[in-house]
Each structure stands twice: as structure tokens, then as C-alpha cells.
Amino acid sequence: MSASIEVRGLSRTFHTTVRRPGFTGTLRSLVNPERVAKHAVSDITFDVSPGELLALLGPNGAGKSTTIKMLTGILTPTSGEARVASVVPYQERERNARNIGAVFGQRSQLWWDLPVRESFSILRDIYEVPKAEHATRLKEFDDLLDLSSFWDTRVRHLSLGQRVRCDLAAALLHDPPVVFLDEPTIGMDVVVKEQVREFLRYQVEERGRTVLLTTHDMTEVERLAERVVLINHGRLVLDGSLDEIRRTFGSTWQIRATFADAHTEVAGLPGIAVLRQDGPQVVFGPEGPDAPSVHQALKTVIERYEVTGVAIDEADLEDVMRAAYVQAGAA
Ligand SMILES: Nc1ncnc2c1ncn2[C@@H]1O[C@H](COP(=O)(O)OP(=O)(O)OP(=O)(O)O)[C@@H](O)[C@H]1O
Ligand SMILES: [Mg+2]
């Protein structure tokens, strides 16, 4: 089966006019506006397979939302192309809309002045979902997201976490195979976040939906995504598994070993340095560009020396991503 989302050399440049400072500057800007080009997305290529959840990561302004807007048909690319469930989204917006669900955590797609229940009825009419099917799905969403306590509340009166949960349910009411989520758990408390993650896992694993998600929450990435695409300054920096990202940017680990014999002569091993030794306590760390992963290193250390205890300190994903963003920015 071909990919659910295909992105080929996708680029989007925004042209904005800059205002010169001061009164004469303003006049000059009016007569002769200075145009600057912002390459928000530059030549990005990746695929998402059916039933896969991919996290699109990158620092603020990297081009994540711009990419999602092209894939949902809101924006037209400057060059390159994209297909979502075989449809070119910006050429056939309506057809694309039937295949996708989209949530922009920062902005609700629901009708501000209507109670949640009515918003959902309108969506049912728009997407022509049969009544019984609609009711079954609402029940399922309610079970997973606990929506019924605010069914009759106007959207404008919902708290942020309640509103985004309603947006999630609304985006899936017409049972789309592909789902785009731009910061879906923004501003949620830890309990609700976990509930939403469970919901997303269910949608991917049980319902086979394809999900493209952006988030700044690394715990979320660890819980949900096997694969990530990292972009920075509009360019794709890395497309791979979390393990690959760790290997590329997160070679910081330490193994603290307790030796059976305090007088053992300890030497470094290939790619593994001895950082400290204090009697039977020895601390190993990675050395050089070919340093092994922490798990391989642990195996090597245990095979080579007789140890009675080990503790591992591994850089957490936040540290790894910080290193990735810094390195990518410098590239
Ligand atoms: N309509 C627009 N006109 C001009 N510039 C824009 C427009 N939309 C986005 N940009 C610029 O394009 C770049 C990418 O923005 P985008 O919203 O895609 O970033 P992002 O990765 O989603 O960031 P964040 O993590 O902050 O949400 C930014 O520099 C932004 O200022
Ligand atoms: Mg964004």
C-alpha cells in the first residue's frame, strides 16, 4: 500500500513588507515597500505509512504549522508537492477534508457560541454521517475523553483542556483515515494529557488511523511516536526513530559500576572512557564519534570486568532534543 502522506520537495515562502522606522521611513515604505522573503518551509520530503504516528518536531518558527497547513489544504506550496490519501490537498480542498481530521490546539474549529452538542450535530450534517453511526461514535469519544460533563456548555465557556478534547472528537466524527494534530495537548493538565495520549494511541492502534502530530512535549513523543521528523529553519534535519535521534544527538550517558575488586586496573574500552575512579566505584562515559549506545557499552563493561552493581544515567529526550536543535541551528 502506498503512503498515506507523501511530501516531495515541499516549500513555502512568505513575502512580507517591512516597515522602515520613523515618519519618513513610513512614507518611503508606502511609496516603495521593501519586500522580504521568508523561507518558512524549504524542500521537505518525507512519507507517513498507513497506521503510523509520526511526530513532526522542531523549535518555534521551524515551519511545522506551515507544513501542516499545506497538508490540510489551507496553504498552497510555493513549490514541491504533497498527497494525502492520494489527494493533492491544496488542489482539492473539499475532497481532502473528507479524508482528514485536523486539530490546531491554538485555535478551535468549533462554533464559539454554540453548545458542544450542537456543534457536533452541525458536523454530522456537513459530513453526512448517519445518525446511528454518529451516536455510536459520540459514545465512544465520551468514554475515552469524558465529554458529557460539558455537552451543553457553549464552546466559548469551555476551559482550554475541555475545548481541545472537544476539538479532537469533532475532528474524528466523520471517521477520517488521516489526522493532523498541531499541538493537541497544549495547556492540558497531566491527567488530561495522559487521557488524550491514550485516545490517540487507540486511534492509531485500534482504528488504524495515520497521525501526523506536532508537539513541544517530549514525554508525549516518547509515549506515542516511534518515528520523528525533525525540522529547523524550514529544512528537514533528521527523519528516523527516537533511537536514531538519541544516537545522533544524545551520546551523553554515564555508567556507574561497582567493581568486585577495588584494586582492579581499569582501562578504557573502544569508544568508552573511564571518567572517574574512586576505589571500587568507576564511572564510564562515551568517547569519540563512534561511541557505542549506553546499552552496548553496558554489555561491554560487564563482559570485560567483574562488577557487583551498575547504575545508568542516560540523557533524557529533552536534553537530546536541545542538543539536536542547537546543532541543527548551527549547521
Ligand atoms: N502567513 C505568514 N506570513 C509570513 N510569515 C509567516 C506566515 N506564517 C508563518 N510565517 C513564518 O514562517 C516561519 C514558520 O512558522 P510556523 O508557524 O510554521 O512555525 P512552527 O514550527 O509551527 O513554530 P511553533 O513551534 O512556534 O508553532 C516563522 O518564521 C513564521 O514567522
Ligand atoms: Mg506551530
> How far apart, in whole angstroms, are the C-alpha atoms of residue 101 and residue 178?
6
> How far apart, in whole angstroms, are the C-alpha atoms of residue 68 and residue 90?
11
Please state the atom number of ligand 1 nearest to the C-alpha of residue 64: 21
Whole-number pLDDT of residue 327? 73
pTM of the model: 0.83
Distances (CA, A) of 200 to 22, 136, 164, 166, 186: 51, 18, 13, 14, 15
CA of 306 to the centre of ligand 2 (A): 51
> How far apart, in whole angstroms, are the C-alpha atoms of residue 67 and residue 56?
9
CA of 66 to the centre of ligand 1 (A): 6
- For atom 31 of ligand 1, the residue with the nearest CA is 61
The residues pairing with 107 across neighbouring beta strands, listed in sequence order, are 104
- Nearest CA to 62 out of 296, 244, 236 is that of 236
Residues with CB under 6 A from ligand 1: 14, 16, 38, 40, 58, 60-66
Band of pLDDT at residue 268, cut at 50, 70 and 90: confident
CA of 63 to the centre of ligand 2 (A): 7
* One-letter identity of residue 224: L
- For atom 5 of ligand 1, the residue with the nearest CA is 14
Please state the atom number of ligand 1 nearest to the C-alpha of residue 66: 18
Helix 160-172 to helix 116-127 angle, to the nearest 10 degrees?
A: 20
pLDDT digits (tens, 9 = 90+) for 83-107: 999 999 999 999 999 999 999 988 8
Instruction: Compute the average pLDDT of residues 299-317.
Output: 88
> Residue 53 corresponds to which cell in the numbers above?
504516528
E strands along the chain, which residues? Answer: 5-18, 34-48, 53-57, 79-84, 100-104, 178-182, 210-214, 227-232, 235-241, 253-259, 272-278, 281-286, 307-314
Whole-number pLDDT of residue 11? 98
Query: Taking a C-beta distance cutoff of 8 angstroms, is the pair 227, 52 a contact?
Result: yes
Whole-number pLDDT of residue 219? 87
Band of pLDDT at residue 331, cut at 50, 70 and 90: very low
High-pLDDT (> 70) share of the chain, %: 98
Neighbours of 331 (CB within 10 A): 9
Query: Taking a C-beta distance cutoff of 8 angstroms, is the pair 314, 253 a contact?
Result: yes
| Residue 292 reports pLDDT greater than 90 | no
* One-letter identity of residue 280: P
| Residue 16 reports pLDDT greater than 90 | no
Band of pLDDT at residue 29, cut at 50, 70 and 90: confident
What is the DSSP pairing of strand 227-232 with strand 53-57? parallel
Dihedral over Cα of 39, 43, 49, 54: its sign: negative
> How far apart, in whole angstroms, are the C-alpha atoms of residue 90 and residue 92?
6
- Nearest CA to 168 out of 141, 188, 148 is that of 141
- Class of residue 18 by CB neighbours under 10 A (exposed 0-12, middle 13-18, buried 19+): exposed
What is the maximum span of the chain, computed from C-alpha positions, in angstroms? 82
Residues in the chain, total: 331
Instruction: Compute the average pLDDT of residues 72-82.
Output: 97
Instruction: Compute the average pLDDT of residues 293-320.
Output: 87
Please state the atom number of ligand 1 nearest to the C-alpha of residue 68: 18
Residues around ligand 2, an ion, CB closer than 5 A: 64-65
Whole-number pLDDT of residue 194? 92
* One-letter identity of residue 178: V
| Residue 67 reports pLDDT greater than 60 | yes
